Amino acid sequence: MTEQKIPLRSEVPVEDTWRLEDIFPSDEEWSKEYESLQSMPERIAAFRGCLGESAETLLQYYRLHDELSVRLSKLIGYASQKLDQDTANGFYLDMRGKAMNVYVAVTGAASFATPELIAIPDETLDRFFAEKTELETYRRPLSIVRRLKAHVLSAAEEALLAAADDLARSPDDIGSMLRNADLRFPDVDDAEGKAHPLTAGTFVPLLESADRVLRKNAFQAYYTRLGEVKNTIAATLDAQFRQLKFFSNARHYGSTLEASLDANEVKTEIYTNLIEAVHGNLDKMYRYVELRKKLLGVDELHMYDVYTPVVEDAAVKIPFEEAKATVLEALAVLGEDYTGLLKEGFANRWIDVYENQGKRSGAYSSGNSYPHPYVLLNQKDTLDSMFTLAHEMGHALQSYHSMKGQPTCTADYVIFVAEVASTCNEILLMRHLLGKTENRKERAYLINHFLDQFKGTIYRQTMFAEFELDMGRTVENSETLTADALCEKYLALNKLYFGPEMVSDDEIALEWARIPHFFYNYYVFQYATGFSAAVAIANRILAEGAPAVADYKRFLSGGSSTDPVSLLKIAGVDMSTPGPVNSALTLFGELVEELEEIT
């Protein structure tokens, strides 16, 4: 069979592309807006030293800030999405560069604002609110800034910290360059002696192969090569956590974890509660590992057996039109207004559907929601592609609801809640599909897909989070992150999380060296908390119907109108307790039990 040719961008039917003309009718109109924004840094800078003078001045500053938020979002969104259509297009690469230059100039000009807003006395601010009722719109963003008062330094000290930001990015930049540009891996052979290229991008697909010889060879070759540079990667991680410690101490936080989570108004207890809750449910993971060993029919289950499918392939081709119809059916529980927005997005070209030469890989929902969100896909007509559609449209409609339900200043939402709506859509889709079939093979295939989500999102990300927490504490105790110490800790965690039926191969001790998320400042735990919250919300919607849906839509429309934990409470989920994590992993255990029964 002839391999299908990937089309040029010009060969893609227009109905399968997103309509960026909704942002700007043409590149020429974008250029006019770009020129118009050149004066904005000067307009922002004109407020320097004046924010505490009067209620009217403060109101005018925030209104200009809102205007700039929308205009910059559109300017950057259009340029970035044009470039993502064809990443080799020099014209749009230059356009995006220009857009980012404007953004940097504006944010630089506005750097005075935070210290000035914090310096306004409480009684003065109370008087401003009384004099100008319109300022009430901005009470929340003002409170977000002013709550950090204890951690904001003098103007001179803030200038020094700002100058140090460039240095702070160096560990991530160096690690990324080493992993993505400099590291080279040997080809690896399959059971028939055929060579396969091994790269950072092909590593996991090779581990998904049904060929165990290929999986083992890829696993050993990859980590052997990582082992040759383990000391360099350990040094970059040590530098990463030392810069976190520096900024944490400078801003008077108790720990690097507290400093990182405080930016999103999340308490450290939520992080540690997650780890404790997962520890309390490791028995379910052990049972899953035992089932995986049985279904693969192996005497020993090794770490190179973790990704390969354990259920005979029941995949069918799912064309995009069928995927859209199925997603609409599954999400009908959210009401006609929700599915109506989905249909609007499908019909009005919010989505760029298929791969073309040079197009950005993967999938995303744009941060730009003016006049509406956009979604990039690389549709493959598979089950995974259908779940990706549901996931990204979950992001898109959360952005849409927040944009419509909130003023500009609180329309964005923080990363702690960013994966909830997208994952909730996936769970509702999965429950819908499971509800439609009694075929044992199809159910087993779907359940295995669902279990892999749990395993990869809750258990694996929590293991990463625990490892990251240990790294932070090590550096805070004035110890050094050496390669040997990192390997010893990681191997111990791997044995804890996978249990006695898994052979924790020596090579897996080096897995930490390939994970870029350890440079993201305590980021990964939010995958696990977000997934757990989404399971709880989906379960409530399916059990309670209309009242739960109404609460969920209030959450979707919440933006950053309150802190993220309070926002999730609106949807009926209290992430300050281990309850949602325990509930999600109870479902995981039930699915493991069903897969045991039908396989």
What's the rounded mean pLDDT across residues 26-36? Answer: 98
Domain match, 131 and 246 both: no
Are 326 and 540 in contact, with CB atoms under 8 Å apart? no
Specify the range with the lowest mean pLDDT, choosing from 360-369, 463-472, 529-538: 360-369
Domain match, 13 and 124 both: yes
Please state, in angstroms and as integers, the Cα–Cα distance from residue 78 to each residue in 70, 92, 369, 408, following that order. 12, 10, 11, 19
Domain match, 18 and 119 both: yes
What's the rounded mean pLDDT across residues 61-86? Answer: 96
319/417 Cα distance (integer angstroms):
31
482/591 Cα distance (integer angstroms):
40
Which domain-ending residue is among 130, 152, 174?
A: 152
Mean pLDDT of the chain: 95
pLDDT at 167: 86
* Res. 178: pLDDT tops 80: yes
Domain match, 432 and 574 both: yes
Q: In degrees rounded to 5, what are phi and psi of residue 560?
A: -115, 35
Q: Which two tokens stand for residue 259?
A: 């400093």
Does the residue 247 lie in any domain? yes
What's the rounded mean pLDDT across residues 382-395? Answer: 95
287/314 Cα distance (integer angstroms):
23
pLDDT at 161: 87
Domain match, 247 and 128 both: no
pLDDT digits (tens, 9 = 90+) for 329-359: 999 999 999 999 999 999 999 999 999 999 9
Does the residue 392 lie in any domain? no
Active site residues: 392
pLDDT at 2: 40
Does the residue 183 lie in any domain? no
Q: Which two tokens stand for residue 47?
A: 């407020």
**How does DSSP assign 458-493, residue by residue?**
IIHHHHHHHHHHHHHHHHHTT----HHHHHHHHHHH
pLDDT at 4: 67
Specify the range with the lowest mean pLDDT, choosing from 124-128, 312-316, 390-394, 491-495: 312-316
**How does DSSP assign 401-449, residue by residue?**
HHHHHS-GGG----HHHHTHHHHHHHHHHHHHHHHH---HHHHHHHHHH
Half-sphere CA count of 180, side-chain side, radius 13 A: 8
Domain match, 533 and 424 both: yes
Cα 213–216–220 angle (5° rounding)? 140
244/267 Cα distance (integer angstroms):
17
- The percent of residues above 70 in pLDDT, for the chain, comes to 99
* Res. 188: pLDDT tops 50: yes
Domain match, 35 and 140 both: yes
Q: Would you place residue 164 in the very low, low, confident or very high pLDDT band (cuts 50, 70, 90)? A: confident
**Amino acid (one-letter) located at 478:** S
Assign residue 559 a region (left: φ > 0; alpha: ψ between -120 and 50; beta: otherwise): left
pLDDT digits (tens, 9 = 90+) for 414-456: 999 999 999 999 999 999 999 999 889 999 999 999 999 999 9
Domain match, 546 and 426 both: yes
Q: Would you place residue 157 in the very low, low, confident or very high pLDDT band (cuts 50, 70, 90)? A: confident
pLDDT at 231: 98
Does the residue 302 lie in any domain? yes
Q: Is the dihedral of CA 70, 72, 76, 78 positive or negative?
A: positive
Domain match, 451 and 563 both: yes
Are 238 and 524 in contact, with CB atoms under 8 Å apart? no
* Res. 3: pLDDT tops 60: no
Which domain-ending residue is among 103, 136, 152?
A: 152
pLDDT at 181: 81
Q: Cα 573 to the chain's mean position, in Å?
A: 20
* Res. 291: pLDDT tops 80: yes
Are 364 and 394 in contact, with CB atoms under 8 Å apart? no
94/246 Cα distance (integer angstroms):
36
199/180 Cα distance (integer angstroms):
9
CATH for 286: 1.10.1370.20
Does the residue 174 lie in any domain? no
Domain match, 449 and 560 both: yes
Does the residue 277 lie in any domain? yes
What's the rounded mean pLDDT across residues 9-28? Answer: 97
In sequence order, which ranges of 132-281 are alpha helices (DSSP H)? 139-146, 155-168, 170-177, 203-207, 212-228, 230-250, 256-262, 268-279
Does the residue 119 lie in any domain? yes
* CB atoms near residue 283 (< 10 Å): 11
Full-model pTM? 0.92
pLDDT digits (tens, 9 = 90+) for 91-149: 999 999 999 999 989 988 998 998 899 999 999 999 999 999 999 999 999 999 999 99
* Res. 469: pLDDT tops 90: yes
143/410 Cα distance (integer angstroms):
12
Q: In degrees rounded to 5, what are phi and psi of residue 194?
A: -80, 135
Which domain-ending residue is among 99, 119, 152?
A: 152
Q: Which two tokens stand for residue 348?
A: 């009005």
CATH for 39: 1.20.140.70
Does the residue 484 lie in any domain? yes
Q: Which two tokens stand for residue 241?
A: 């956590």
Q: In degrees rounded to 5, what are phi and psi of residue 199?
A: -140, 175
381/9 Cα distance (integer angstroms):
19
Domain match, 45 and 142 both: yes
**Domain count across the chain:** 2
What's the rounded mean pLDDT across residues 278-283? Answer: 98
Domain match, 43 and 144 both: yes
* Res. 1: pLDDT tops 50: no
Q: Cα 65 to the chain's mean position, in Å?
A: 26
pLDDT digits (tens, 9 = 90+) for 222-239: 999 999 999 999 999 999
- The percent of residues above 90 in pLDDT, for the chain, comes to 89
Nearest by Cα to 110 from 33, 47, 166: 47
The domain containing residue 298 runs over which residues? 239-318+415-599
